[in-house]
Amino acid sequence: MTYNTSIESVSPEGVIYYLFGATGDLARRKLFPALFSLYKEGKLSENFAVVGLARRPRTNEQFRSDLYDSINEFCRYKADDLNMWNRFAEHFVYMSLDINDVEGFKALDALSSELDEQFAIPGNRLFYLALAPSLFGPVSFNMRDGGMLQSKGWHRLVIEKPFGYDLPSAQELNKQLNQVFKEEEIFRIDHYLGKEMVQNIQVLRFSNSFFEPLWNNKHIASVQITLSETVGVEDRGGYYDKSGALRDMGQNHMIQMLSMIAMEPPSRLVGEDIRDEKVKVLRSLRNYTSSDDVRNNVIRGQYSAGKFGDKALLGYREEDSVDDSSTTETYFSAKVMIDNFRWAGVPFYIRTGKRLPVKTTEVVIEFKPVANNILFGTKHDLAPNLLVIRVNPMEGIYIKLNAKKPGSDNEVQPVNMEFCQSCLVGINTPEAYERLINDAAHGDSTYFTRWDEVSHAWAFVDKIAQAWREESSDLQFYPAGSWGPTAADELLAKDGFHWWPVNGQEEDNVIWITNSR
């Protein structure tokens, strides 16, 4: 089954994409397949070029061979049409570049002029920096000094996370970029915002009359956001040991999903209005006021040796490039409060971690229960209603409600009514990077993070990081393959809640009514 997506066509005026870090893992796994999918679906006109940039020497033929291998391994489409593949590949060229040498950027500018003429591109430039954040500023300065920003068309900069290490470093990085690019030209990518079901949150809320009236503290008891991974740090031990789960996942993905759930309806469906509402949520986050406040509301853990099935798993401190006395967290969960009229008193519980038993990203909206002293509540332990939004790896939505058990005398049982998006679109669901690259080419910044979003998020997590630096004894260990420290369960239990099963791991007595079966 093919998938009809609403992604618009790239502007027919054309653009040159510059991929800095073109020999790296991100380009191979995500960026090259995204560009091929856009081309395959007719969303890239013939008026484009891609310049791969990295330090190592490579010919155009070698670069295109790597491109071919990347697409056939990671893309949802295969390069099985030779004529189409040749047309696509001829738009790709490679240039070895020392990013610290401004003369190299002058040579790149000369190459760009040739590509403009060859592919009828009117000077539009999209720079994608798949590089370490410390290089964003120097590369931007050399692009400017090398003449790359003097073309007549538009210029846009796409940068990956992490955007800094904390608020001061992010402010310095932003200051550097603003010397070269305007804020509206900077696209800070968070690939979770490109996922179909994250973007579907707005549609769910604002196009269904039976959700929005209930989307407040009068009807919702709690919200849970889970982003769990089964993998360990693998070959990223050196990076991860300086980052940890809080900075790697919490400051960006988790807080972004929280703001999408909690935002007010925007006045218009345009990027700036939507991001304005997200910023209002971030401004309303209740900051932790002390180290004790952090310990009472935030749990941090690190995986120790454990098992996944019959497979033995190393502890974090045994992984390559990890300090054997490291206190870096591989797991954290937190109770977050939003102090505004809509959400006052509703706890948001967030958790993320490595070496957990299930890979999933889910949002669970738990509604307040019906009164237990009237009607069915007097005879039955009624389960609360849930709205569950599955973001990854399966995409979809299900609603958990109570219904009469067939053949019984008013016996009540839980029923799950499910819409399984992945079951409908299969492997042809668009990847997040396709959407975001195309949006950047259109100048649509809706699903990119604005500077004030980044700064508020850093200000929030910096309070947690500071408390952890002051007190390291609160690090808790959990066996690899488990659901994290037991204190994370206690965090919810003291409020009368528990973590809901994820990824369809429901109780045996729940009946599923689904479009996938």
- Half-sphere exposure (CA, 13 Å, Cβ side) for 274? 18
Distance of alpha carbon 444 from the chain centroid: 17
What CATH code is carried by the domain that includes residue 226?
3.30.360.10
Domain shared by 144 and 228, yes or no = no
Tokens of 201: 């949150």
Average pLDDT over residues 331-343: 97
**Residue 383: what pLDDT?**
81
Domain boundary (143, 160, 177) is at 160
Active site residue 253: yes
Choice among 123-137, 231-245, 451-465 with the minimum mean pLDDT: 231-245
Choice among 111-115, 331-335, 414-418, 460-464 with the minimum mean pLDDT: 414-418
Q: Residue 416 — pLDDT band, cuts 50, 70, 90?
A: confident
Choice among 41-45, 77-81, 344-348, 508-512 with the minimum mean pLDDT: 508-512
Residue 197 placed within a domain: yes
**Residue 422: what pLDDT?**
66
Average pLDDT over residues 277-293: 95
Domain boundary (140, 160, 180) is at 160
**Residue 504: what pLDDT?**
55
Average pLDDT over residues 352-357: 96
**Residue 166: what pLDDT?**
94
Instruction: From the candidates 155, 191, 253, 456, give the one annotated as an active-site residue.
Output: 253
Residue 170 placed within a domain: no
**Residue 4: what pLDDT?**
36
Domain shared by 130 and 206, yes or no = no
Domain shared by 231 and 290, yes or no = yes
> 229 lies in which domain range?
193-514
Domain shared by 253 and 131, yes or no = no
Domain shared by 394 and 507, yes or no = yes
Q: Residue 3 — pLDDT band, cuts 50, 70, 90?
A: very low
Q: Give me the number of domains the chain comprises.
A: 2
Tokens of 489: 């369960």
Q: What is the tens place of the pLDDT at every residue in 245-272?
A: 999 999 999 999 999 999 999 988 788 8
**Residue 155: what pLDDT?**
97
pLDDT reading at 379 higher than 80: no
* Residue 225 and residue 257 in contact, taking contact as beta carbons nearer than 8 Å: yes
Q: What is the mean pLDDT of the chain?
A: 89
Tokens of 353: 């971690």
Q: What is the tens place of the pLDDT at every residue in 30-45?
A: 999 999 999 999 999 8
Q: What strand order describes the sheet that includes 331-337?
A: 476-479, 298-304, 331-337, 347-353, 220-228, 360-367, 386-392, 396-404, 412-420, 511-514
Per the model's pLDDT, the better-predicted residue between 490 and 425 turns out to be 490
Residue 10 placed within a domain: no
Residue 477 placed within a domain: yes
* Residue 223 and residue 345 in contact, taking contact as beta carbons nearer than 8 Å: no
Residue 206 placed within a domain: yes
Q: What is the tens place of the pLDDT at every residue in 186-232?
A: 999 988 888 888 888 888 888 888 888 999 999 999 999 999 999 99
> Which residue do the tokens 């979770």 mark?
192
Domain shared by 203 and 116, yes or no = no
**Residue 96: what pLDDT?**
97
Looking at the chain, the whole-number percentage of residues with pLDDT higher than 70 is 90
Alpha helices in 120-245, H assignment, sequence order: 136-145, 167-178, 196-206, 237-240, 244-245
Domain boundary (107, 135, 160) is at 160
Domain shared by 359 and 284, yes or no = yes
**Residue 503: what pLDDT?**
65
Residue 184 placed within a domain: no
Domain shared by 229 and 295, yes or no = yes
Domain shared by 68 and 202, yes or no = no
pTM (predicted TM-score): 0.90
Tokens of 266: 């925007």
Enclosing H/E stretch for 216: none
Domain shared by 368 and 466, yes or no = yes
Q: What's the per-residue H, E or C state across 55-110?
A: CCCCCHHHHHHHHHHHHHHHCCCCCCCHHHHHHHHCCEEEEECCCCCHHHHHHHHH
What CATH code is carried by the domain that includes residue 27?
3.40.50.720
Residue 186 placed within a domain: no
Average pLDDT over residues 96-103: 96
**Residue 471: what pLDDT?**
79
Q: What is the tens place of the pLDDT at every residue in 145-157?
A: 999 999 999 999 9
> Which residue do the tokens 């990847």 mark?
431
Average pLDDT over residues 293-314: 94
Domain shared by 443 and 380, yes or no = yes
Domain shared by 408 and 259, yes or no = yes
**Residue 513: what pLDDT?**
60
Residue 4 placed within a domain: no
Q: What is the tens place of the pLDDT at every residue in 427-461?
A: 445 688 999 999 999 999 999 999 999 999 999 99
